[in-house]
Amino acid sequence: MLKKLYYFVGLLCVSPSLWAQTANLSEENIHNLPEHEYHLTIDHTTVNFTGKDIDAITINGGIPGPNLEFIEGEFAVIHVTNNLDHETSVHWHGLILPNFYDGVPYLTTPPIAPGETFTYKFELKQAGTYWYHSHTGLQEQRGVYGSIQINPKEKPVAYDKDLVLVLSDWMDENPASQLKNLKRGNEWYLIKKKQVQSWDKIIKKGAVGAKLKMMWQRMPDFAISDNFYDTFLINGKNQQEYPSFQPGEKVRVRFVNASAASYYWLTFGGANDPMLIASDGQNVVPVAHNKTLIGVAETYDFVVTIPANGKLQVRAMAQDGSGFATATLGEGPLQEAPVVPKPDLIAKMKKMMQMDMKMGAPASKFRPHHQDSIKVMKKYQMKMGNMTMDNMQKNMDGQMAMKKDKKFSDEKPMQMASDSMKNNSMNSQHSMEMGYKIPAEKVVGSHMKTAGNPQFNYNFLKAPKKTEFDSTKPVKELLFNLTGNMNRYVWSINGVPLSETDKIKIEKGEVVRITLNNLTMMHHPMHLHGHFFRVLNKNGAYSPLKHTVDVAPMQKVVIEFDANEVGDWFFHCHIL
């Protein structure tokens, strides 16, 4: 299947002329690079994570599938055999590779038919932590995912060993049944999670007005996640242990969030905060960071030091507080990771209803041109700070003319391991050094009112080198309003679901700048295939590179990328 069933997506068509070029059907190792070969088999397997035997879909018999380890500069040859009775596929999430091998069936890559083997061949042009997963139907939810570790030719920081931790959510219920329940608009999963907002609690917390406003707008109870999961896993277990690490060793812990719909707060035990060194496989200026929200499909790398007198605990708590998973590194007395308090859903509901915004722009179709997008923003009273809707219209071109005893809420600002973030921060009122302007309203989280945690922006991420583009490049501006209907569980971009949308044609060599406005109550992790994009934050010319970005409820995020990869590329929310 082409789409992720019910979440909004878009399709970007990059071509040297007006039309995309068809990629070569074969990629050969013309530079005689050292080859690294893997054989993967996708098949049905019975698993038991909760005390109940369930039919799953696995890669080489396990969930997650094997960690594929390479060295930067190698040539990957990966044979994927389909033992299912229906089609499958594999997408290489975050890898820069030929369009033909991207792995989206019927768009870039042929689906793998039952009983057939397909061989993916591509040069590994990058280092970092990535992952792979099925892009067919609901197979990813049932277990078709695994990690990719590409070791750098030169380490960006000193560390002794690597450890990949794949985070995932699991439900015994069939994913198709779950989807049907979500589309019924009932509160069944909130009841299972014990997160229904009862009237006695609403009255006690003075939220009657907010609740009535939600009811008037026909909105369900506020929830961070509408889904229910029976358990949360780290490398296939709820509690993992890695006793072989020795005191004093520095370990690069590579997190992959391969969950269907769960975000996690990552926290670490030990005397010192971990050093965050990479996001989505791309190096960042090292920063001490002991509370990090990892969105679906994102990756983060940390360097931790194994304690001299105990084992270090890593804790991944679901953002909605419905569960967690842990891993320990080393041996001895447990040095526990701090526990992030469960969210106060009623308090969050009050804050959201205090904002001048009606949640959930309609999923009905309207023409996805910038005039219509601006009308939607006006109708749903999306706040843009200093940027009025009239000003926005003028700005668009032809296309869119921690210690354990310390509360996390009291945390001090993060400190960069090298130079201060201030030294290279962008004065948003001025042009960037290379010449092309990024207005203040384009900086993520700069003006939008948000009911969420301030860490929903990415200001703690700073690229070690400048990421800005050549000032002579033309800039194409696009405005994507993330819209939907929560009761029907239908999602869209600018009110248009995938089945009705057209390709967005982009000329090769353009800089594409996309403003993402989330008009819904849900977090949306937006993923672009085949490219890295800049997330415009306060670090200006040093804004980080990512392939997946979280757009929080009522938040605005602006990304931009160099359209230098020919072909049709998927852009979609990664919630399944």
CA angle, 106 as apex, 105 and 111 as ends, to 5°? 45
Lowest mean pLDDT among 109-118, 273-282, 317-326: 317-326
Name the maximum alpha-carbon separation found in the chain: 70
- Coil, strand, or helix at residue 473? coil
Position 271 scores a pLDDT of 84
Average pLDDT in the chain? 79
Q: Write out the two tokens for 314.
A: 């890593």
Q: Write out the two tokens for 378.
A: 């006006």
- Coil, strand, or helix at residue 210? helix
Residue 158 burial by CB count (10 A; 0-12/13-18/19+): exposed, middle or buried?
exposed
Q: Over the Cα atoms of the chain, what is R_g?
A: 23
Position 181 scores a pLDDT of 75
Q: Using one digit for the tens of pLDDT, what is the confidence trace for 132-162?
A: 999 999 999 999 999 999 999 999 899 999 9
Give dist(CA 574, CA 527) in Å, integer: 7
> Given a cut of 80, is residue 87 above it in pLDDT?
yes
> Given a cut of 50, is residue 446 above it in pLDDT?
no
Position 366 scores a pLDDT of 35
> Given a cut of 50, is residue 411 above it in pLDDT?
no
Please check whether residue 56 is in contact with residue 149, taking contact to mean a CB–CB distance below 8 angstroms.
Answer: no
- Four-CA torsion 567, 515, 547, 223, nearest 10 degrees: -130
Give dist(CA 254, CA 161) in Å, integer: 11
Please check whether residue 65 is in contact with residue 144, taking contact to mean a CB–CB distance below 8 angstroms.
Answer: yes
Helix axes 208-216, 345-354, angle to 10 degrees: 70
Task: Say how far residue 166 (Cα) sits from the centre of its chain.
Answer: 14
Give dist(CA 264, CA 257) in Å, integer: 8
Quick one: average pLDDT of 500-507?
Answer: 78
Q: Is the pLDDT higher at 79 or at 7?
A: 79
**CATH topology identical between 33-154 and 370-401+414-573:** yes
Is the domain spanning 33-154 CATH 3.40.50.970? The answer is no
Q: Pick left, alpha or beta for residue 42 (phi over 0 → left; psi -120 to 50 → alpha; otherwise beta).
A: beta
Position 514 scores a pLDDT of 96
Segments making up each domain of the chain, as ranges: 33-154, 158-343, 370-401+414-573
Letter for the amino acid at 176?
Answer: A
> Given a cut of 70, is residue 461 above it in pLDDT?
yes
- Four-CA torsion 174, 175, 181, 182, nearest 10 degrees: 160
CATH topology of domain 370-401+414-573: Immunoglobulin-like (2.60.40)
CATH topology of domain 158-343: Immunoglobulin-like (2.60.40)
DSSP 8-state symbol, 244: T
Prediction pTM value = 0.81
375 sits in which H/E element: helix 370-379
Lowest mean pLDDT among 226-240, 345-359, 400-414: 400-414
Quick one: average pLDDT of 467-492?
Answer: 87
CA angle, 22 as apex, 18 and 23 as ends, to 5°? 125
Letter for the amino acid at 370?
Answer: H
